[in-house]
Chains A and B, each alone.
Chain A
Amino acid sequence: MGRLVTAEFRKVLTTNLWWALLIPTAVVAVVWSWVGSLLTTTVVDAMSQSTVLRRFGVDLGEQSWSVLFFARTINISAIFPMIFGALALSSEITRRTVTTSYLTAPNRGSLLGAKLITYAAWGAAYGVVVSGFASLGILLGSHPQQLPDATGWLLMAFAGVLSCLLWTLLGVGVGALLGNSIAALLSLLIYTLLVENLIGLWLPQHWPGVLINGSADGLPGVLASQLLNDQLDTVQQIRLLPDSSRQVITDGIQGLAGARGAFDWWASGLIFAGWAAVFVVAGWLVSRTRDIT
């Protein structure tokens, strides 16, 4: 297995795809989080100055609002590691290099296993870049007092790495399942960017959380909204609100973090890992007997 993992790393490093996808990943991450946190800051500033809130003495300028767009940035940037993973096996089939890969591997399962290990590492590396550039973006776009504390930042960065890693593995599975790079890319992009958003609109509370995007977005999204809600709870006037009103605020913030209807962040992570596992196993079963002609 070690030999095949070395071979997979060489495959990645001797072609341009890894950096050709890493550049837009970094650009999207920094621009999305910058513009997003700028927008959030503007809105929060406007709200803080509203006469109603001032009359009640509510101060909303001291919470880490920037984590909302940290979460949204992770969700949108994870498209690139997903594409990277989707091409792992499917582009080898399309380019017919898979013939040589299968001829030099003990069996097809070990080749897919080596790809999963290699792409997990690459997915994590993409995640580090996403979390890093998202941090830069919120640093540029937010007031310093609206940035997360060290623990909050570490948790968000961890969610970014984990999310990108799982999206990459899910991509590897879909690519192995479909066996064609165009088909794998189109179905993944159309589903994640369009189909699930449409389905999600019609589903009742918590149902979006069991879907692929819904659970994936829940990992950083719920984490971010929990960080923010914990801080809002320290605001006396909010703590004194009736439960129903507080629930509205909680749900609203979770929606702003892009995770409407998602379960707790760790449960979302587990559900999404389950989806990745389903596609990896399906891809393994189908690629095991696929005729390479």
Chain B
Amino acid sequence: MHDGSGRIVVQGLTKQFGPVTAVNNLSFTVEPGSVTGFLGPNGAGKTTTLRMLLGLVTPTAGGSTICGLPFAQLGNPGRVVGAVLEAQGFHPGRSARNHLRVYAAAMGVPDQRADEVLHLVGLGQAANRSAGAFSLGMKQRLALATALLGDPQVLVLDEPANGLDPEGIVWLRAFLQSFARSGRTVLISSHLLGEVEQMVDQVVIISRGQTAYYGPLETLRASQQSRVLVQPADPQALVAKLQESGIGSIEWTQDGRLAISGVDRKEVADLAMSSGIALYDIQQEVIDLEQLFFRLTSGQYSGAPVPSPTGYPPQPPGPSPWQPGNGWGGQG
């Protein structure tokens, strides 16, 4: 019998498809009561990882548990974990209600549960329509209804926002947060951090089948650095003044400006003013989460560099502390 914790543990998971290593020694834990974002670019191994967790793909090495047991030993898995996966099919000729009644029978929940979950996801009006005539967004809602049928403790969602309209995304966000707040577990994958940023508490970021960052989103957010770019009349004098006041992280940018980290614009302006150094230009640059995510996962399948007159994406301030092997990775 499973331990009822709702905890997901992934340990050393590896999958080799012929010569291609889709997932390489991946480890992370998802705690109940939280929404965990599982992030990485397309092709990073997210879907394969989730399918291994759900027993649909056999791992080459390593393993995973849900509520302390591998998927195959859960007994009646539909009552423990619900999943919305990409390319999850519906028989085109079967109505939404009949689709749910099939799986209600399989997991032994009463038939009226089918109508309950249809109303829950907003498909009450479409219950008797064939799934084949559904739009992508309606299919996603039906997939979510199927996942919720067994009232599971754990929800696993693979790119659930695909095909949902903005209204649907807002609804999904609120729904998943309340689901997690009731002490249950949500693991949601996406290739866009911005898409899930507002609903996740924890993130697992993977790149090329390996963990690039694993921890609370807050920690990642707190580590966002800003820097001030200035163009002083006398750079040497300003650098001397800054060092005098204990500000050490100063760099020259390629266009001859000074990049000062860990200060805000006002501080630099005041210091220059009091030292009588004229500033021709001053601006504050913030690295947002999306750029951080881009940096953590860049490299795989990247196209040829595009000349960028605006300098986007901005150069990162100094060496990044978020690379794997720097003590931040989840593979320790």
A positions within 8 Å CB-CB of B = 3-4, 6-7, 10-11, 14-16, 95-107, 289, 291-293
B positions within 8 Å CB-CB of A = 47-48, 51, 54-58, 72, 74-78, 81, 83, 85, 87-95, 98-99, 101-103, 105-108, 146, 150
Give the residues in chain B near A291, CB-CB below 8 Å. Answer: 51, 56-58
Give the residues in chain A near B72, CB-CB below 8 Å. Answer: 107
Query: A15 and B102: CB pair below 8 A?
Result: no
Question: Assuming the A-B contacts A100-B146, A103-B78, are A6 and B89 also in contact, with contact meaning beta carbons closer than 8 angstroms in the complex?
Answer: no
A99–B47 Cα gap in the complex (Å)? 13
Give the residues in chain A near B93, CB-CB below 8 Å. Answer: 15-16
Question: Assuming the A-B contacts A4-B106, A15-B94, A96-B89, are A103 and B54 also in contact, with contact meaning beta carbons closer than 8 angstroms in the complex?
Answer: yes
Query: B48 and A7: CB pair below 8 A?
Result: no
**Which residue of chain A lies nearest to B76 when distances are taken between CB atoms in the complex?**
A106
A97–B143 Cα gap in the complex (Å)? 11
Query: B56 and A99: CB pair below 8 A?
Result: yes
Q: Which of A97, A101, A104 has the most CB of B within 10 A?
A: A104
**Which residue of chain A lies nearest to B52 when distances are taken between CB atoms in the complex?**
A291
Query: A15 and B89: CB pair below 8 A?
Result: no
A7–B51 Cα gap in the complex (Å)? 23
A261–B94 Cα gap in the complex (Å)? 45
Query: A97 and B105: CB pair below 8 A?
Result: no
Query: B102 and A11: CB pair below 8 A?
Result: yes
**Which residue of chain B lies nearest to A9 when distances are taken between CB atoms in the complex?**
B105
Give the residues in chain A near B56, CB-CB below 8 Å. Answer: 99, 102-103, 291-293
Query: B88 and A96: CB pair below 8 A?
Result: yes
Q: Which of A15, A97, A103, A289 has the most CB of B within 10 A?
A: A103
Query: A97 and B107: CB pair below 8 A?
Result: no
Q: Which of B56, B78, B95, B146 has the most CB of A within 10 A?
A: B56
Query: A99 and B75: CB pair below 8 A?
Result: no
Give the residues in chain A near B47, CB-CB below 8 Å. Answer: 293
Query: B88 and A106: CB pair below 8 A?
Result: no
Contacts A103-B81, A293-B51 supplied; 7 other A-B pairs, CB < 8 Å:
A3-B105, A6-B106, A15-B94, A100-B146, A291-B51, A291-B56, A293-B56
Query: A104 and B91: CB pair below 8 A?
Result: no
Give the residues in chain A near B106, CB-CB below 8 Å. Answer: 3-4, 6-7, 101, 104-105
Q: Which of B77, B78, B89 has the most CB of A within 10 A?
A: B89
Give the residues in chain A near B77, CB-CB below 8 Å. Answer: 103-106
Find B102's partner among A10, A95, A99, A289 (CB 8 Å cutoff). A10
13 intermolecular pairs with C-beta atoms under 8 Å apart: A6-B106, A7-B106, A10-B98, A14-B99, A15-B91, A95-B89, A97-B91, A99-B85, A100-B103, A103-B77, A104-B107, A106-B74, A292-B56
Query: A7 and B87: CB pair below 8 A?
Result: no
Find B75's partner among A16, A95, A106 (CB 8 Å cutoff). A106
Minimal beta-carbon separation of B109 from chain A (angstroms): 10
A291–B52 Cα gap in the complex (Å)? 9
Question: Assuming the A-B contacts A96-B87, A99-B85, are A292 and B51 also in contact, with contact meaning beta carbons closer than 8 angstroms in the complex?
Answer: yes
The 5 nearest A-B residue pairs measured at CB: A96-B89, A7-B106, A104-B78, A14-B98, A292-B56
Query: A3 and B107: CB pair below 8 A?
Result: yes
Give the residues in chain A near B101, CB-CB below 8 Å. Answer: 10, 14
Give the residues in chain A near B51, CB-CB below 8 Å. Answer: 291-293
Give the residues in chain A near B90, CB-CB below 8 Å. Answer: 95, 97
Find B103's partner among A7, A107, A293 (CB 8 Å cutoff). A7
